[in-house]
Amino acid sequence: MNISKFRMPRQNKQGAAWQKLCDYIDKVAAENGTEFSPADYLGRELFAEIQTLPATIAKLKTVEKIRLSGSNIKLIPPEIGQMTALKSFVPYPSEELKWLPYELTHCKALNYTHISIRAQYGNFKTRKPFPSLRDNPLRYDNEHVCCSVCRKEMTWEETDQFWINLQVGSHVMPLLANLCGESCKAQLPAGARGYVPILHKGGPELKQRGLGNPFDGPKAITKAMMDKWLDEYDRGLQLLNEKIAKEKV
């Protein structure tokens, strides 16, 4: 199985593109703007150099709509969870974008998303394998990291990282959670139906459901039959992955 190793985006933070992006964020925040569309402000050429977003997006408290179409962005930082007015998140098409933070679930008004599904780890079309967080944990740029649940500040040595697929707006997305301990781990919901049902660390040993949308069944199969089958399948998958997790921890 071909598992990609993740490399942090090598964002040039000295160049004109990053500087202009930071200025744009300050401008939208100062004007209480409702839309964040950096391609329009930077122009296509500079926008193509952007691989992640600055932590200062946390200031965009009035922004309802993020448009990142056609970007080379690889990673969205957890500060997006502080954009409390966010309703619409449209990075599509952004084939490089694979790392989305669990903090997206903090955006309670978020009800519309459009992402490049095939690019996502664990997507139902290709079941793209998840990179292992055991061998290759992700480090954001910040010196510290906050727990994705209780928001407590931790060192990078203290955090425990997991993947979980959850419904966010219009899509099920693979989200990266940083967790401070067992009590916060216990607060995360089960994975979305049709996906790995428990928190996991990815890697080649992880078993995923087979290809295809589990809800695309022949018409003769009733919803009750499908639900029963899914419940049995999920239970089996859960037991298997719990066994893998126990052996690894």
Give contact residues for Zn ion (rule: CB under 5 A): 147, 149-150, 180, 184
Minimum CB–partner distance for residue 146 and Zn ion (Å): 8
Minimum CB–partner distance for residue 42 and Zn ion (Å): 36
Name the nearest CA neighbour of 205 among 177, 147, 247. Answer: 247
Minimum CB–partner distance for residue 123 and Zn ion (Å): 28
- Shorter beta-carbon distance to Zn ion: residue 100 or 179: 179
**Residue at token pair 């919803």:** 223
Q: Specify the amino acid at residue 229.
A: W
**Residue at token pair 């952007």:** 50
Instruction: For strands 65-67 and 35-36, give the pairing.
Output: parallel
Minimum CB–partner distance for residue 154 and Zn ion (Å): 8
- Shorter beta-carbon distance to Zn ion: residue 78 or 203: 78
- Shorter beta-carbon distance to Zn ion: residue 115 or 166: 166
Minimum CB–partner distance for residue 81 and Zn ion (Å): 14
Q: Enter the DSSP assignment of 67.
A: E
- Shorter beta-carbon distance to Zn ion: residue 176 or 206: 176
- Shorter beta-carbon distance to Zn ion: residue 185 or 193: 185
Instruction: For strands 100-101 and 171-179, give the pairing.
Output: parallel
Check: CB of residue 113 under 8 Å from CB of residue 90: yes
Alpha carbons 107 and 67: distance in angstroms, whole number: 16
Q: Enter the DSSP assignment of 75.
A: B
Minimum CB–partner distance for residue 177 and Zn ion (Å): 10
Alpha carbons 3 and 163: distance in angstroms, whole number: 15
- Shorter beta-carbon distance to Zn ion: residue 107 or 179: 179
Minimum CB–partner distance for residue 140 and Zn ion (Å): 16
- Shorter beta-carbon distance to Zn ion: residue 150 or 186: 150
Which are the contacts of 193, defined by CB distance < 8 A and separation ≥ 6? 214, 230, 234
Exposure of 123 in the CB half-sphere (CA atoms within 13 A): 12
Check: CB of residue 125 under 8 Å from CB of residue 118: yes
Instruction: For strands 65-67 and 112-113, give the pairing.
Output: unpaired
